[in-house]
Amino acid sequence: MSNLRFTEQALSEWMRGSGQDSDIVISTRVRVARNLQHLPFPLLATNQQSEEVLEKLKDVIGEGAVTEETGSFHTIILEEIGDLDKKVLVEKHLISPSLANESRNGAVILNDDESVSIMINEEDHLRIQCLYPGFQVREAWEKATALDDVFEEKVDYAFDDKRGYLTSCPTNVGTGLRASVMMHLPALVMTQQINRILSAVSQVGLTVRGIYGEGSEAVGNLFQISNQITLGQTEHEIIDNLHSVVLQIIEHEKNARTKLLNDSRLRITDRVMRSYGILSYAEVIEAKEAAQRLSDVRLGVDLGLLEGPASAVMNELNVMTQPGFLQKRFGDGMNPGDRDVCRAKLIRETLAQKAKS
């Protein structure tokens, strides 16, 4: 089976499941950054050196290798696929923009359900990423550290007794651990509490980013909350801190949703129904508006105001409406106006199909 199947389907299999508080926490991701000893980090490596890294790391978990927990693995060499397929992998959060655009001898190793993404020659030699639906930060960490142990048995990591794991960016030195949750927080936005909450988050060693990580914009009321500190804390302290803070944010969002229902039920219902109507019948829709309308519909379904599409459908639409996937489906080379027409068509057809099923 061709590895390009990973770019032909918008929804990763792991996203069809649900985890704790999945009405608010869309997904959990844990990533560890590692580098090999005695080889320059990717930014300074020659082509030959980065090729050596690629050969060493992809052989640790070879093509078709199987573990009981993760299933079989498949290696995609990025130089062997087109720019559009790389863009889709970014939109599905399976690789980073940096790996897609800037790496030499870059590759990604994916398991069957795409819950494991192992990036080679990104900013660091090795980045092991594990993804779970809902709020499952401890489970994601357990899988990531188990895979990390598999690599550490076969290769020597760059490690310092005082500083911990050495990485290209100083903000990753130490544990090399970045744990994050993608949260849907529309009620906090509507009740104008979001800035206060996010300001408090930054005071406890966490940071807030948009849907595609550092430098990206928070659209559709989706916010990525992750640890900012990797040095001076143990992995368990980082995971526990994120877990504790996210539980508090979840509680604030639940309270804000209750307040909206109690104080503005008619207005919220009207907003949800208008967005559902626009998504169901619009002939042209821009990306930002689509993200906001999808956020309204997701909230309406979660609050029981609308018998709309399931969470998995909403997750799928969030990917299907991105530029790369639209071009993958309808044809490369579309201008923004063409994409707006195709985006509207795709949403209409998807909602109509789900309504019949």
Is residue 259 one of the residues assigned to a domain? Answer: no
* Residue after which a domain boundary falls, among 202, 233, 253: 253
Is residue 104 domain-shared with residue 192, that is, in the same domain?
Answer: yes
Over residues 182-202, the mean pLDDT reads: 93
Q: What is the pLDDT of residue 187?
A: 96
Is residue 100 domain-shared with residue 14, that is, in the same domain?
Answer: yes
**246 marked ligand binding residue:** no
State percent of the chain over pLDDT 70: 93
**210 marked ligand binding residue:** yes
Is residue 24 one of the residues assigned to a domain? Answer: yes
Look up the pTM and report it: 0.91
Is residue 17 domain-shared with residue 110, that is, in the same domain?
Answer: yes
State percent of the chain over pLDDT 90: 73
- How far is CA 94 from each of CA 91, 156, 160, rounded to the nearest angstrom? 8, 25, 29
Q: What is the pLDDT of residue 1?
A: 44
Is residue 162 domain-shared with residue 241, that is, in the same domain?
Answer: yes
Is residue 157 one of the residues assigned to a domain? Answer: yes
**Residue 174 corresponds to which tokens in the numbers above?**
């130490």
* Residue after which a domain boundary falls, among 214, 233, 253: 253
Is residue 197 one of the residues assigned to a domain? Answer: yes
pLDDT(215) > 70? no
Q: What is the pLDDT of residue 243?
A: 96
Is residue 224 domain-shared with residue 297, that is, in the same domain?
Answer: no
Is residue 270 domain-shared with residue 243, that is, in the same domain?
Answer: no
Supply the CATH number for residue 202's domain. 3.30.590.10
pLDDT(63) > 80? no
Over residues 35-60, the mean pLDDT reads: 94
- How far is CA 150 from each of CA 157, 164, 257, rounded to the nearest angstrom? 12, 18, 43
Is residue 283 domain-shared with residue 335, that is, in the same domain?
Answer: yes
Report whether 165 contacts 34 (CB < 8 A).
yes
Over residues 149-176, the mean pLDDT reads: 93
**108 marked ligand binding residue:** no
**209 marked ligand binding residue:** yes
**212 marked ligand binding residue:** yes
**164 marked ligand binding residue:** no
Between residues 68 and 26, the one the model is more confident about: 26
Distance CA 146, CA 32 (A): 11
Is residue 293 one of the residues assigned to a domain? Answer: yes
Over residues 190-198, the mean pLDDT reads: 92
pLDDT(66) > 90? no
**178 marked ligand binding residue:** yes
Is residue 320 domain-shared with residue 242, that is, in the same domain?
Answer: no
Is residue 307 domain-shared with residue 330, that is, in the same domain?
Answer: yes
Is residue 171 domain-shared with residue 52, that is, in the same domain?
Answer: yes
**168 marked ligand binding residue:** no
The pLDDT tens digits of the residues spanning 85-127 come to 999 999 999 999 999 998 889 999 999 999 999 999 999 999 9
**19 marked ligand binding residue:** no
- What is the number of domains present in the chain? 2
**182 marked ligand binding residue:** yes
Over residues 329-335, the mean pLDDT reads: 86
pLDDT band of 196, cuts 50, 70, 90: very high
Is residue 36 domain-shared with residue 59, that is, in the same domain?
Answer: yes
**93 marked ligand binding residue:** yes
pLDDT band of 213, cuts 50, 70, 90: low
Is residue 208 one of the residues assigned to a domain? Answer: yes
pLDDT band of 218, cuts 50, 70, 90: low
| Residue-number span of the structural domain to which 310 is assigned | 264-356
CA 16 to chain centre: 14
**29 marked ligand binding residue:** yes
Average pLDDT, the chain: 90
Is residue 258 one of the residues assigned to a domain? Answer: no
Is residue 62 one of the residues assigned to a domain? Answer: yes
Q: What is the pLDDT of residue 173?
A: 92
Per the rule left: phi > 0, alpha: psi between -120 and 50, beta: everything else, 214 is beta
**284 marked ligand binding residue:** no
Distance CA 342, CA 324 (A): 12
* Residue after which a domain boundary falls, among 233, 253, 273: 253
Distance CA 101, CA 196 (A): 35
CA 52 to chain centre: 29
Is residue 190 domain-shared with residue 276, that is, in the same domain?
Answer: no
Over residues 205-210, the mean pLDDT reads: 84
Please tell me the least confidently modeled range out of 150-154, 274-278, 309-313: 309-313
